[in-house]
Homo-oligomer: A and B are copies of this chain.
Amino acid sequence: MAFTGKQLTTRLDADGTLTVQIVPKTWDAPTGSQVLVQVEATPINPSDLGLLFASADTANAVYSPGKVVAKMPEGATRAMAARHGMDMPAGNEAAGVVVAAGDSPAAQALMGKRVACVPGTAYASYAYAEAGMCLPVDESVTPAQAASSFVNPMTALGFVETMRLEGFTGLVHAAAASNLGQMLVRICQEDNVPLVNIVRSEEQVALLKGLGATHVLNMTEPGFQAALTDAIHETGAMLGFDPIGGGTLAGQILAAMEASASRGAAFSRYGSSVAKKVYIYGALDLGPTILNRAFGLTWDLGGWLLTPFMAKAGMETVGRMRARVARDLTTTFASHYKAQVSLEGMLEAAAVAEYNARRTGEKYLVVPTA
């Protein structure tokens, strides 16, 4: 039995032309431990956009129904030589119904059920998924509620696990009003983890305060650096997570940690010896990271990514995290979307302009069945 439908593909050619389009596709019946999921809802996360459009000039692209052709900058084209000429599917995660299953008992057990899954090919009518990676959800859970049950929830839980693994006792989070940031606020409340939230507007301050967050700082306000230092001093939060990447913020967080650690301490020309660390886990700002190194010589800045974290944390921890997500999917791990679009709607100029700007509170949900 075969299933016919549509799939989004993205192709970068060596000449810098990026083509994102919806093409017809047929899926054969799955085998072994795989299931075939009819995709009902799939979010557009920043981690998807890096593959979908990367740094292509979508403002000056050519849009036709179900197709976008854009120009990629020369440096980025060169850096992505390994994908030249390949029509790549995209879409990390989704919710949908299992319409066919391989022979394995685990796959067969999922037949007809709604699951959350991580196929990596979710911008499509159907997607293959490993049965063991699927999360069956209750009848009462909608596709929209189940669509984002992997990337954001596991990342937010991963921050807290990383904190514990590395011996820190509090967190600083930038761009904290995002869906992920709101999850982190709720997780930290449940787990009694001190959290300093950094946001970019008074509306976002109000949003997080409304969730019961204690420390919410507006980085566009004068006095932000002093307020950040105070909040870090009060919470002892010496581990930060920053999805922005570009600009001075990561360095400002380290400087505030250093200023807190140095309070009342004797002068040291090398700075404090208290461990302080910031992880960059995204690239909302593709510009350079600028570190004004006012934080001594005991500091650390690194990249953070979910997959290697899970490999390091191990099966038991990951299993515990997934069980928590399944249990609290519609509460702690609830997501919000600005708009729902079809596969074709996803490639309209106005939609691309909005979701590709990666602004907080403007996340899109794709509904391939629409």
Q: State the A residues within 8 Å of B (CB).
A: 47, 50-51, 54, 75, 79-80, 82-83, 86, 88, 245-246, 251, 262, 265-271, 273, 280-281, 283, 288-305, 307-308
Contacts of A293 in B (CB 8 A): 245-246, 280, 283, 288-289
- Chain B nearest CB from A273 CB (Å) reads 6
Cα-based distance from A305 to B293 in the complex (angstroms): 14
Query: How far does the Cβ of A149 sit from chain B's closest Cβ, in whole Å?
Result: 20
CB distance from A89 to the nearest CB of B (A): 12
- Known contacts: A50-B269, A267-B83, A289-B290. The answer to whether A305 contacts B300 by CB under 8 A is no
Whether B297 pairs with A267 at a CB distance below 8 angstroms is no
Most buried by B among A270, A296, A304: A270
**A83 shortest CB reach to chain B, Å:** 4
- Complex contact B302–A300 (CB within 8 A): yes
Cα distance, A170 to B308, chains bound together (Å): 23
8 pairs from A and B in contact (CB 8 Å cutoff)? A50-B270, A79-B294, A82-B268, A245-B293, A288-B292, A291-B291, A299-B303, A300-B302
**Closest residue of B by beta carbon distance from A300:** B302
Is B82's CB under 8 angstroms from A265's CB? yes
List the B residue with the shortest CB-CB distance to A12: B267
Least distance between A293 CB and chain B CB atoms (Å): 6
Quick one: closest B residue to A254, CB to CB? B303
Additional A-B contacts beyond A51-B269, A79-B294, A297-B303 (13; CB < 8 A) = A50-B269, A82-B265, A82-B266, A82-B267, A82-B268, A88-B267, A251-B288, A288-B290, A290-B290, A297-B305, A299-B302, A299-B303, A300-B302
Q: Smallest Cβ distance from A253 to chain B, in angstroms?
A: 14
Instruction: Return chain B residues, CB-CB under 8 Å to A245.
Output: 293
Shortest Cβ distance from A84 into B: residue: B267
| Contact indicator B82/A262 (Cβ below 8 Å) | yes
Q: Point out which of A82, A269, A273, A308 has the most chain B C-beta atoms below 10 A from its C-beta.
A: A269
Residue of B nearest to A311 (CB): B273
Chain B neighbourhood of A265, CB < 8 A: 82
CB distance from A303 to the nearest CB of B (A): 4
Chain B residues with Cβ below 8 Å from A301 are: 300-302
| A269 surroundings in chain B (CB, below 8 A) | 47, 50-51, 54
